[in-house]
Amino acid sequence: MSVFKPFTLALIQLGSIGAEKTANLQHAREMILKAAAGYTKKPDVIVLPECFNSPYGHVHFPVYAENIGFTPGKPYDVAQSPSASVKMLSAAAKEVGAWLIGGSIPERDAATDRIYNTCTVYNPNGDLVATHRKVHLFDIDIPGKIKFKESETLTGGTTMNFFDTEFARIGLGICYDIRFPELAMISARKGCHVLVYPGAFNLTTGPLHWELLQRARAVDNQVYVSMCSPARDLSAGYHAWGHSMVVDPMGQVVGEAGEGEEIIYTDIEPGRMETARAGIPVTRQRRFDVYRDVSLPN
Ligand SMILES: O=C(O)CCC(=O)C(=O)O
């Protein structure tokens, strides 16, 4: 079992995401510095929202996509990275000396030319240590409300991803990924204590499902669950729900932003996971004689 110690999580509900990528990167950088300085103690993990360097929409992904060139388990030299976003995030993580879950950016795979919605993660030295390509693409059609088809330009990732820090194992997903309980369940069974999803729900599904899904994944798996959204901007093409959130392993909301640009801080307390698991011991009551353990290979 990997270590689980108290730590502080900072969610940046980023605003002012416009058409100018350089300005988006500059603003994100300023907010990372602000998040690092704005609490009683420096937060250990700082999180940005989904698609923080470009407007959100499948037509924008090819235009803003960057080659990252990261292969898990292989050394990665940020100084040689072709990605301006990776360079900024790495430098910011190093400057503030905190772990950074860099929201997501459109990524173009140089070998296949496919585009992914990709989260990159940095340690406090600025090393790129993990990535997650959104596995489940946001293709929905609720007549009269919202139609969205990420698969018009994006390809879904094919791996589940987590990373280890000195205080917790953190699982990764992106937005629509939270609707798929298997991903969260398998991450939790692999020992993740906290699941973080950079996201950008909308004004139709946000009020219905944003909190519900986080509380469901948290209570199912008795882990912390958190989603980090962009701020709501009614002048943008896509209206994000906001309400960046942290839910504890009992399913209680322990941190929540409003709609505008904001940084929220939550102290993650391992005791809450122990209490939830001791009082309601579902993690020890599973009946793999009745159904199979989906965290095991087929
Ligand atoms: O699942 C939803 O309702 C919203 C998902 C979404 O906005 C996304 O995956 O980017």
- Which atom of ligand 1 has the smallest separation from the CA of 177? 9
Query: For 9, which DSSP code?
Result: E
The kind and range of the H/E element at 26 are helix 21-37
Helix (H, G, I), strand (E, B) or coil at 180: coil
214 CB within 6 A, ligand 1: no
State the CATH number of the domain containing residue 226. Answer: 3.60.110.10
Is 290 inside a domain boundary? Answer: no
Nearest to 249 by CA among 286, 207, 281: 281
Its pTM stands at: 0.97
Question: Can you give the pLDDT of all 298 residues of the chain as single tens digits?
Answer: 589 999 999 999 999 889 999 999 999 999 999 999 988 999 999 999 999 999 998 899 999 999 999 998 899 999 999 999 999 999 999 999 999 999 999 999 999 999 999 999 999 999 999 999 999 999 999 999 999 999 999 999 999 999 999 999 999 999 999 999 999 999 999 999 999 999 999 999 999 999 999 999 999 999 999 999 999 999 998 899 999 999 999 999 999 999 999 999 999 999 999 999 999 999 999 999 999 998 898 7
Is 1 inside a domain boundary? Answer: no
Centroid of ligand 1 to alpha carbon of 278 (angstroms): 33
Which residue range forms the structural domain that includes residue 170?
7-285
Is 76 inside a domain boundary? Answer: yes
Predicted complex ipTM exceeds 0.95:
yes
Is 2 inside a domain boundary? Answer: no
- Give the active site residues: 50, 134, 175
Rounded Cα–Cα distance for residues 274 and 138 (Å): 34
Burial status of residue 37 (CB atoms within 10 A of its CB: 0-12, 13-18, 19 or more) = exposed
Is 177 inside a domain boundary? Answer: yes
> How many structural domains compose the chain?
1
201 CB within 6 A, ligand 1: yes
136 CB within 6 A, ligand 1: no
